Structure 1
């Protein structure tokens, strides 16, 4: 299928000429649109305190996204609360673990990370379920969180620390059927698609996914993912899209 029009489910860059989007446009003569499918809003300090979390009851913090890290530590600071000195951290992948250094001294903390998929993260948590107590910063509505679903299935002990909420965008002005390709960067984008278009049929539309969490949720919703990144062959979603378009001209 020849790709002529692509929808990226995020906000447009400030200067598109200096981004990989410009290369896709010039190289393949495609039209690109941007529309953020959802917004992430941090909860208030008073809401956070209602969680009544005693951090001393937990041995390991589990992070799956950068915004969960940002919002958690922002709330921690404004609440004038501190984590125990011996608490450990486990992240979905190496890049998330490295991002954690923005708030945590990497050398003085025990950190582990999975290989990018929910399954590999759940396996790490399951292996030490008898000796660890996990706390997972997440959204208020965590039904779309594939990690939470998997942990429940495996009966792994954990508690949620609600630190942000997801506000789905109104996509009524988006003609979703006119796009040959839709690219998702978050599982919440998939959820927004299904909420806004409950009768959506993918058909020949090409779907691109950045990250295993998006891939997992897309599969749960019965969507076919045609383009996936990062992979050993395609570390960037843009190179993956470029190669797909090139092969299907």
Structure 2
């Protein structure tokens, strides 16, 4: 990775999105390219490895007993229903689902009949807004927090403990760093957008000597922002926020502001 001398007042030309390239040409990311004349590169920094149904059973978790399920990503949803299918678990139609964002909540439509009375999400994508929703139901529910074996949200775990909730952590997948030294190591980026704490850890596994040096860092989620700051980075694009519920809208607002400065 070459050092970049880009400053926030200079024209943004190259942006790295640390996720897979969208399959649809109608993706809003491509609209950003056309709208602002920028070049977007896509490179996932982590791979998700499923924990088999057989290995999950070693955790001795009875999925059917839980009346509330917590999801912080689409990966968690995918692997929850995969694990249920592999273990022939029937999920009750009365199960309530608590999601970190509306986008994650809407993804449930792939697996269930979506009803607002059983699908809940925070108003602005923050942990606090998720906790506000969970707080209204915690007395009557037992929570299953579906998460990665090597990446749990400590704020969620601590909230469940502090509120004396009946809960278990269900490890249904794990993340591993991708080797991206050859694919992105010789490129300069004006903006790098991170979506998970694991992604930031993977970045520094690949580029341990990386210095921000004026590169604009984008982060999605409280924990990704915290990991960025822990790693010595200063986020300049932060989502979700009330007016920027996604990284796409946050980038749009950022690039619009940059265009006014040109």
With the length of structure 1 as denominator, give the TM-score of the two structures: 0.81
2:241 is paired with a residue whose SS is: coil
1:43 is matched with 51
Distance 1:108 1:244, change over 3 A: closer
For the Cα contact (< 8 Å) 2:15–2:38, is it kept in 1? yes
Partner Cα separation in structure 1 for residue 189 and residue 85 of structure 2? 43
For the Cα contact (< 8 Å) 1:28–1:245, is it kept in 2? no
Distance 1:23 1:245, change over 3 A: farther
2:252 is matched with 239
Aligned residues: 247
1:188 is matched with 198
Partner Cα separation in structure 1 for residue 257 and residue 185 of structure 2? 23
Residue 99 of structure 1: CA displacement?
2.3
Deviation sequence 1:30-63 (CA, Å, 0-9, x none): 4432221111122222122222211354331111
Q: How does 1:24-39 map to 2 (within 5 A)?
A: 24-39=32-47
Residue 80 of structure 1: CA displacement?
0.8
Report 1 or 2 for greater relative contact order, CA contacts < 8 Å, sequence distance ≥ 6.
2
In the alignment, structure 1 segments of 5+ residues that lack a partner are none
1:178 is matched with 188
1:70 is matched with 78
For the Cα contact (< 8 Å) 2:148–2:171, is it kept in 1? yes
Asked if residue 160 in structure 1 is aligned to residue 169 in structure 2, the reply is yes
Query: CA RMSD of the aligned region, Å?
Result: 3.1
Q: 1:135 is matched with which residue: 120, 139, 144?
A: 144
Indicate the larger mover: 35-44 or 231-240.
231-240
Q: 1:201 is matched with which residue: 187, 207, 211?
A: 211
1:227 is paired with a residue whose SS is: strand
In the alignment, structure 2 segments of 5+ residues that lack a partner are 1-7
With the length of structure 2 as denominator, give the TM-score of the two structures: 0.77
Residue 97 of structure 1: CA displacement?
2.3
